[in-house]
Amino acid sequence: MNGYWKKKGVKAWRASTGLFLVSAALSMCEEVHLYGFWPWHLDRLGNNLTQHYYDNHPVHKAHKLPDEFKQHQRLHNQGVLHMTTDNCA
């Protein structure tokens, strides 16, 4: 899986667990909806965000979350998955 994503532009030592789970979901599900994948420490309004739902540890250097986000955006734009980065309505 790491090799596949490296060829697609994720320049990380290894893909994140989130990218592995998205990959698994794409291989098993007819529709995949992503919510909450945002690789920056601030939201669009400047509010602080954590990288995990369970803690506030800094991003591990092994991951390149902005590269992964670009892949999520690409797949969203191609209609492969549906990504929501705004607040839920």
List the catalytic residues. 63
The structure tokens 């990504």 sit at: 83
Q: What letters, b where the CB count within 10 A reaches 16 and e where it falls short, cover 40-57?
A: eeeeeeeeeeebeeeeee
